[in-house]
Structure formats: C-alpha cells, structure tokens
C-alpha cells in the first residue's frame, strides 16, 4: 500500500513538472512518513551517500573535456578528418556525419553534445550540397546516438554508480555495440546516398593538406584510445583517466590547435558545474528510492513472479527491450538509468543476464529515446539548429534508428556482442 | 518609487548571490580538475600518493552537486518531465510551477532539519583519511538547501513581480548550434 502510494505520488509529481530529483525525494519522504517516520533520520545520509563517490568524479571531468575540445575548433577538424576517411569509399557528407559521430562520441561521451557540435556545421553543409533537409537532420540525430554508446560515456558512469559494475569493463561492453550501430548506419547511408545520387564528384586534395588533416584528427582520436586503454586495463581509474583527458584537451586547445581562450575555459567550468549537479542531485535522491526498493524487496518479488509464471527468458528479455524503448521516449537518459536499474538489474540477473550485458542494453536502448518524440533531447537540439518540426526530423531519422534497434536485439539475444571484450580482461 | 527601490535592491541581492555561487562553482570544478591532474602526476611520475587527496576531492565533488543544484533552480537547469505541463493552459501551468517549487521547499526543509540532526549526532566523528570532523563536510547540506529554498521562493515570486533573469555566462547546446548555422 505504502509502496503503491509512493509510486503514485512519484508519477503525479513528475507529471506536474517537479524536477526529477525532488520528485523522488518528495515521494520518498511520503513513504517514510507512512511506514516509519524514524526512517527520516537516515534521509540526508542516503542522499549524501548517493553523491559521495570518487569514481563518479570522472563524470564532470569527461564533461569538461568535451567542453574544452568543443571550444578548441575540434569539430571542424574532425569533420575534415572524417571526409578523408570516407574518400576511398566515394562517400559524401552523409557518411562523414556517421564517421564523425563515432569519433566525436569517443571524446564528448554525450549524444546531445554530438548533435549540437556536428549538426551545427554538417546540417547546413549537407543542405548546401543538395541533401534534403529531412535526411540531413535525420542522419545527424540518428548517428549522434553513438555518442553515448562508444566509451567514454557519461550514462555508463551513472550506471556503474548504481550497479557497482566495473567502469573499465562497461566501457569495453559498449565498444562493439557502438561500432556496430555506426557501421550499420554507415552502410545504410551509403546505400541510400548511392541510390538517390547524393555522392559528390571526388575533388583533388594535395598531400600537404592530407598530412595536416591526418595529424589534427589523429591527435583528437588519441584521446578516446588513451581513456579506453588506461581504464580498461586498470592502468588508471576512471577519474584519473578523466583527469588526464582534461589535461590533454587543454594542451591540444592552447598549444596545438591554439584556439582555446581563457574566457571559454571559465564558461566550460560553469557549464560543467551546472550539468554535473543536475545529474548528481538525481543520483543522490535515487539512493532513497533504491533503499526503499531493497527494504520492500521489490526486485525479488518481480523476479519470483516471473520465474513462477514460467515465462521463457527470451520473452522477458524482449519485454525489457520494449520497456526501455517506451520509458526512453518519456524520460531523459540518466533519470531512467537511475530509476530502473535498481529494479530491473536484480530481476534480469535471475534470468542469467550479467550486469555488463544489462548495462550495454540499457545504454543502447535509451540512446534511441534521445531521437524519439516527445522527450528526444537530440531532436530538440536539431530542431533548433535547422528550424524543423521534431516529428519531421524523427521521420528522417527512422531508417537509421532501425539500425539501432537491430543492434539492441543483437546485444540482447547474443551476449557475446557485449561480453566478449570484457571477458578478455578476465 | 519606494517600491521600485526595494525591487532594485532585491534584484541586486539575487544577482549578487547568483554571481557568488557561479564563481564558487567554477572554482570548485577547477580545483577538482587540477586536483585530479596533480594527484595523477604525483602518483605516476613521482610515485607519491596522498590518501587524503581522494577524500578532499570527493568532498569538493559533493559540494559541486549540492551548490550546483541550488543554482540550477535559479537557472532552470534541473531535469524535469515537461512534456505534460507544456501542453497545459497558461493558468494550469502557473499552478503546476508553484506546486513544483513548494515540493522543492518541502524536500529542502526535511534535508535541512535532518542533516542538522545528523551533524549533532555524528558530526564529531573524524573522517577516515583527513581526520576532519564529518560534521564539517555534512554542513554543506543545510547551507546549500537554505539557498535552494531561497531560490524556490524567488521562482514563485517571479510569477508575480519582475525579477532579473539569471546570467548563465555560457551557451546552451542549441545556442551553439544556432551560432554554427549563422
């Protein structure tokens, strides 16, 4: 009864627009008042424990890295580098969009940042080169979903916080699914572009330019490689690795690309402060929610219900995918991870799914939510860039989102796609 | 005239607090980044590791969360589900907006009251690495939630009296996009 009231209160508060963290806090207070008011003594302690984590320091530092790189003129350099990479295929800006998203994702760790940075340059460029606006915006938002799948990934850090999974192994679990989404989208873009005649005539490029573009692009690409290698092989913790990434981004911005200004560093610090706290305050209040679920043994009850109902595990897994896709259309990525992981992870573990596979599924699934109306953050950003209705952009993105759904099903039913790389670590 | 003078004074106070928190937040993130970088260099280059640095950096991070959340209320940076309220008529939207702030105030009052109780109970216990009394760290909660309540009241007042908009000082993601388009 108390639990139902808590969930009901949470839904009502979310609907009336109470910020998610405070909605969780309010419903938690209601539960404690109804069950045992002495529980309230532990209320601030649980919120505190949800924010007190050395590993999660990596989150603001990765955000800061992305901000510094954005202000260092990295985006244009990455686009030029991606153009060079797709040249042998005879590809155009559609393919460049996907390749640049794959590289950019390894730097920013955020899909929204990817849509904003790449979309602001590529959508107008693509329209100028004769691509329909709907296609240009569609491929931009769809490919930006790769940003939060390819490591480093801010949502993965949040999942690591609630699940206790190893950050290094999680990064590796997301690598193959991220590359798969990219490759399938790349193939589809190539096929569509070839059929509709979007591919440009190859222009000549001199060796000097090739060397410069390769140097600039490789220096940027070195960062995700550095992060993945150091974290995954236990050379450095996620926070230390993020610290190295900040230093590397600052050196590139100030001394190599020479485009970073001190004023922009200040702005990047402020933006990081605000973004990080808006996520972490939800993380703090979610600890109350997690504690209540544990006290009430909700995951155990759901798992025993499903096990006693003799529902085949494939059906449970399929239901998980559908649930993630549906929730992703209404809730933002981080709150969704923080809210559903404590309930569903123990249930899925009962069905033999590992925490790493569950992490990969939830990240790939929720990335799709970023490009589906009504709460598609990437759609909103793209809509502001190209002045198009979000539903129109969604229609343009739909063929490419199917690639994401195929990968989601693959990692759900073939664990090796997410588990093989982490298993190499032992 | 007297009313206008009062309003100007109130706006100056609000903007002053905004600026102070903004500078404090930038400093916290700066210290966090520099602290991690320095400890990495000390550990890997000079093989020196400070146990206390991890604890101090974690506390800096906790401070960014609580104070950032308070300022986030003023700058409307909190993550919320707006798809339902966006479709509501203006009057209902206003009621929901006030209700949202009221719930924030309720949660903050509970946080302040019980965190003070917590400090009274375990505040003198020293932290494991730095031996600083835990109460010193836990003090971040009541202070930041008092600021949260202040901003929640400002947000309610803003619906009835003109209050200066916050100066964020950075561009939103979509604004960066528009800049690129131009």
Q: Quote the CA–CA distance of A31 and A27 in Å, as a whole number.
A: 6
What's the confidence (pLDDT) of residue A185? 95
Q: Quote the CA–CA distance of A129 and A136 in Å, as a whole number.
A: 10
Cβ distance A267 to B173 less than 8 Å, yes or no, reads no
The three-state secondary structure class of A124 is helix
Burial category of A37 from C-beta neighbours within 10 Å (exposed 0-12, middle 13-18, buried 19 and up): exposed
Q: Is the dihedral of CA A3, A4, A5, A8 positive or negative?
A: positive
Q: Quote the CA–CA distance of A70 and A68 in Å, as a whole number.
A: 5
Q: pTM of this prediction?
A: 0.86
Cβ distance A117 to B176 less than 8 Å, yes or no, reads yes
Cα distances (angstroms) measured from residue B74 to each of A14, A75, B21: 19, 31, 11
- Check if A79 contacts B (Cβ < 8 Å): no
- Check if B85 contacts A (Cβ < 8 Å): yes
Cβ distance A120 to B170 less than 8 Å, yes or no, reads no
Interface test with A, best of B58, B74, B76, B80 (most A CBs within 10 A): B80
Q: Quote the CA–CA distance of A337 and A333 in Å, as a whole number.
A: 6
- Taking one residue from A and the other from B, the number of pairs with CB-CB distance under 8 angstroms is 233
Among A18, A270, A274, beta carbon nearest to B103: A18
Q: Are B174 and A385 in contact (CB under 8 A)?
A: yes
Residue A166, both tokens = 């190893």
Question: How many Å is the maximal CA-CA distance in chain B?
Answer: 66
Three-class DSSP labels, chain B: CHHHHHHHHHHHHHHHHHHHHHHHHHHHHHHHHHHHHHHHHHHHCCCCCCHHHHHHHHHHHHHHHHHHHHHHHHCCCCCCCCCCHHHCCHHHHHHHHHHHHHHHHHHHHHHHHHHHHHHHHHCCCECCCCCCEHHHHHCHHHHHHHHHHHHHHHHHHCCCCCCCCCCCCCCCHHHHHHHHHC
* Among chain A residues, CA nearest to B140: A48
Among B62, B72, B106, beta carbon nearest to A274: B72
Q: Which residues in chain A touch residue B128, judged by CB atoms under 8 angstroms apart? A: none
Q: How far apart are the first and last CA of chain A?
A: 45
Interface test with B, best of A117, A274, A327, A378 (most B CBs within 10 A): A274
Q: Which residues in chain A touch residue B66, judged by CB atoms under 8 angstroms apart? A: 51, 277, 281
The three-state secondary structure class of A318 is helix
Chain B window 50-69: which residues touch A at a Cβ cutoff of 8 Å?
A: 54, 57-58, 61-62, 64-69
- Check if B92 contacts A (Cβ < 8 Å): no
Query: pLDDT in tens for each of the 426 residues of chain A?
Result: 788 899 899 999 988 989 989 999 999 999 999 998 999 988 999 999 888 888 889 889 988 988 888 888 888 888 888 888 888 887 788 999 999 999 888 777 778 878 887 888 888 888 888 899 999 999 999 999 998 899 888 889 889 988 888 888 999 999 999 999 999 999 999 999 989 888 777 777 888 888 988 988 888 888 888 888 888 787 888 888 889 989 998 999 999 988 889 988 999 999 999 988 988 898 889 888 888 888 888 878 888 888 888 888 899 999 999 999 988 887 778 888 888 888 889 889 988 899 999 999 999 999 998 898 877 778 878 887 888 888 889 999 999 999 999 999 999 999 999 999 988 876
- Check if B78 contacts A (Cβ < 8 Å): yes
- Check if A244 contacts B (Cβ < 8 Å): yes
Residue A348, both tokens = 């899925």
């Amino acid at each position: 009864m108390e639990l139902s009231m808590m969930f009901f209160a949470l839904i009502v508060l979310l609907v009336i627009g109470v910020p998610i963290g405070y909605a969780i806090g309010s419903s938690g207070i209601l539960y404690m008042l109804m069950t045992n008011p002495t529980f309230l003594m532990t209320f601030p302690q649980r919120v505190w424990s949800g924010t007190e984590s050395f590993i999660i320091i990596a989150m603001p530092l990765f955000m800061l890295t992305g901000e510094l790189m954005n202000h260092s003129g990295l985006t244009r350099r990455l686009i030029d580098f991606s153009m060079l990479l797709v040249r042998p295929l005879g590809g155009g800006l559609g393919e460049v969009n996907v390749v640049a998203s794959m590289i950019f994702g390894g730097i920013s760790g955020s899909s929204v940042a990817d849509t904003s940075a790449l979309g602001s340059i590529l959508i107008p460029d693509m329209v100028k080169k004769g691509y329909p606006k709907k296609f240009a915006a569609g491929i931009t938002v769809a490919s930006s979903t790769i940003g939060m799948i390819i490591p480093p990934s801010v949502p993965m850090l949040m999942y690591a916080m609630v699940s206790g999974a190893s950050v290094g192994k999680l990064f590796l679990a997301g690598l193959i699914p991220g590359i798969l989404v990219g490759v399938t989208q790349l193939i589809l873009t190539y096929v569509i572009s070839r059929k509709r005649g979007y591919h440009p005539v190859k222009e000549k490029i001199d060796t000097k330019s090739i060397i410069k573009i390769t140097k600039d692009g490789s220096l940027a690409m070195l960062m995700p490689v550095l992060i993945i290698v150091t974290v995954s092989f236990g050379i450095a913790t996620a926070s230390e690795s993020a610290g190295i990434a900040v230093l590397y981004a600052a050196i590139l911005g100030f001394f190599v690309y020479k485009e970073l200004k001190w004023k922009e560093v200040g702005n990047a610090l402020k933006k990081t402060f605000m973004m990080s706290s808006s996520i972490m305050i939800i993380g703090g209040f979610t600890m109350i929610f997690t504690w209540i679920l544990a006290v009430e043994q909700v995951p155990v009850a759901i798992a025993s219900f499903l096990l006693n109902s003799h529902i085949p595990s494939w059906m449970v897994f399929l239901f998980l995918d559908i649930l993630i896709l549906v929730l992703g259309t209404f809730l933002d990525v981080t709150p969704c991870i923080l809210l559903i992981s404590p309930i569903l992870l123990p249930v899925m573990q009962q069905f033999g799914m590992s925490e790493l596979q569950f992490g990969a599924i939830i990240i790939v699934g929720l990335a799709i939510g970023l490009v589906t109306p009504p709460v598609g953050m990437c759609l909103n950003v793209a809509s502001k860039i190209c002045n198009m209705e979000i539903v129109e952009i969604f229609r343009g993105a739909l063929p490419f989102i199917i690639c994401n759904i195929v990968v989601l099903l693959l990692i759900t039913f073939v664990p090796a796609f997410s588990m093989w790389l982490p298993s190499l670590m032992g | 005239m007297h009313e206008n003078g009062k309003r100007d004074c109130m706006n100056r106070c609000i903007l002053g607090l905004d600026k102070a928190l903004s500078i404090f937040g930038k400093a916290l993130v700066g210290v966090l980044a520099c602290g991690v970088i320095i400890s990495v260099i000390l550990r890997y280059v000079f093989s020196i590791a400070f146990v206390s640095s991890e604890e101090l950096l974690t506390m800096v991070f906790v401070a960014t969360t609580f104070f950032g959340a308070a300022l986030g209320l003023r700058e409307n940076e909190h993550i919320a589900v707006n798809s339902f309220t966006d479709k509501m008529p203006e009057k209902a939207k206003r009621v929901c907006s006030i209700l949202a702030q009221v719930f924030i105030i309720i949660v903050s009052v509970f946080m302040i009251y019980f965190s003070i109780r917590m400090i009274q109970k375990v505040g003198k216990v020293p932290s494991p690495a730095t031996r600083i009394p835990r109460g010193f760290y836990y003090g971040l909660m009541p202070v930041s939630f008092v600021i949260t309540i202040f901003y929640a009241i400002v947000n309610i007042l803003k619906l009835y009296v003109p209050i200066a908009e916050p100066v964020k000082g950075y561009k939103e993601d979509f604004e960066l996009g528009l800049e690129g388009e131009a």
